[in-house]
Amino acid sequence: MSKGIPVSPKHGVNPTMPICFFCGEPTGEIALLGRLKGDVEAPKHMLLDYRPCQNCEEQMKKGICFIAVSTKPVEKGQPPIQKEEQADLYPTGPWCVVKDEAVRRIFTEEVVEQIMRKRRSLVDDEMYHRLFDVDGENKESEPLQED
C-alpha cells in the first residue's frame, strides 16, 4: 500500500500556492495537500513554513536578519518558528536585515559571536521595536529591509 498523498474525493490532490512569510508573495511553488480535515478545498494561497522566498533570502544574505517573535501564536494553529524548552517562539511579522558593523556596535562581543554564527536572531517583539523602531521611524543604524 502506498503512503502517498491521501487524495480528496471532492478536490483531488487539492493544490495551493505557498506564500513567503516574510513578504507575503507567492513562492512560485505548488503544494499538493490532498484530503484536508473536513475534506475542505485548500485556499488558493497558503503560508506553509518559514522558509524565505528567493527575493527575501537574497535580502537576508546582505547582513544579519532579526525577526520579531512572541511566545504566543499570532493566529490559531500557527506553527512555531523555533521550539524552546521554556516556550515555543512564534514570529509576529516584523523583520529587518542589519549590517554586520551595526550589530557589532549594538551588542556585546559574546552576543555578537552567537548572532554572527547563525546570521539571524529571533528577538522578543517588544525588544525588536525598541531596537529598530522609534515612533514608527527606524533608528540611526537603519535596517536594509523591513516588512
Per-residue pLDDT at 2: 56
To which residue does cell 554572527 refer? 116
Q: What is the pLDDT along the chain (147 residues), one digit of tens a residue?
A: 457 778 989 999 999 999 999 999 999 999 999 999 999 999 999 999 999 999 999 999 999 999 999 999 998 889 999 998 888 999 999 999 999 999 999 899 999 999 999 999 999 999 999 988 755 554 444 444 444
pTM of the predicted model, to two decimals? 0.78
pLDDT value, residue 62? 95
